[in-house]
Structure 1
Amino acid sequence: MTRYVEFLEPTATVQDAAALMGELDVGGLPIGDASSLEGVITDRDILYRVVARGLSTTTDVRSVMSQPVVTCRDDDALQMVIDAMAAHHIRRMAVLSTEGNVAGWITLADISRRLLVESHRLQETLRDLTEAEAVEA
């Protein structure tokens, strides 16, 4: 999960969104602020809702953002987050604190990295157990 989240104002332009996404090397940005999440603008929103329709890059992100925002809680189980992403066909999610404010942002890439690390740890543990059993035998 990324704890530092860069937000865009709803009145920001699609050009502003694309520039900030490029600068941050991200595929989506939340619209609003930590206490009032209004929507999300993604690279796909820009492609399909702006470029494909011939809209201007000065279009407000509010008019092309995805909403409602699918969120999870910071204490949700990882499998619950994965299931929600799959059910809603999304690649990123706002993570809310117990107070309901945006505490971070989680992406499929974050989840993949975490699962890869956990898989390596499991493999090491199994190898250690197997080696210990071989020594005892």
Structure 2
Amino acid sequence: MKANKLMTRDVHVVSPDQSIREVALAMAKLDAGSMPVGEKDRLVGMITDRDIVLRAVAEGLPPNTPVRDVMTQEVKYCFDDEEIEDICQNMGDAQIRRLPVVNRDKRLVGILSLGDIALSSTASKAGNALKGISQPTH
């Protein structure tokens, strides 16, 4: 099965210039733990609730801190025509629960979560990915 069969297509993209407060409110409204960050039609990062907590709140940064100051700039992604089995392996190896999905022109077309995979007929692959994600990194 390919990523484009399981991914969420309607993805809310935030700007690196938005405040972390705005993004946190959007995450709460959408019940999302991460959001892609885009600038000039390109994916430039990902912002997660964990990024906000560890890189902003724990460091005492104010709510108007721009997303670009706390986002993860090294974006891991998968292609929309990539096999779920390969994606699960990569998610486990990289310890990532959500991946932006891009087409071969590297345009964002969706997002794929471990939950999306777990709800599909390939649920055992999600279990293997979760096993890799849950391994200690020290």
**CA offset digits 1:67-115 (Å, max 9, x no partner):** 2110100111101111111121111101011221011000111011114
Indicate the residue corresponding to 2:41 in structure 1: 35
Out of 26, 43, 68, the position equivalent to 1:62 is: 68
Cα pair 2:42 2:107 within 8 Å, conserved = yes
Query: Can you give the 5+ residue segments of structure 1 that lack an aligned partner in the other structure?
Result: 120-137
Is the aligned partner of 1:90 residue 2:90? no
State the SS of the aligned residue for 2:120.
helix
**Structure 2 alignment gaps of length 5 or more:** 1-6, 126-138
Per the alignment, residue 71 of structure 1 pairs with 77
Paired AA for residue 114 in structure 2:
L
User: What is the rounded CA distance, in whole Å, between the counterparts of 2:39 and 2:112 in structure 1?
Assistant: 16
Q: Which has the larger radius of gyration?
A: 1
Deviations along 1:30-70, one digit per CA (max 9) or x if unpaired, are: 10158300000001101111111111111000010012110
2:133 aligned with 1:107: no
Whole-Å separation in 2 of the counterparts to 1:85 and 1:116: 14
Helix, strand or coil: the match of 1:84? helix
Per the normalisation by structure 2, the TM-score is 0.80
Kept after mapping to 2: 8 A contact 1:34/1:101: no
In structure 2, C-alpha distance between the alignment counterparts of 1:87 and 1:98, rounded to whole Å: 22
Matched, 1:24 2:34: no
Which structure dedicates a bigger proportion of its chain to helix?
1
Letter in 1 for 2:57: V
| Contact map agreement 1:7 1:31 (CA 8 A) in 2 | yes
Q: Give the alignment's TM-score, normalised by structure 1.
A: 0.81
How many residue pairs get aligned? The number is: 119
Match of 1:50 in 2: 56
Equivalence for 1:132: none
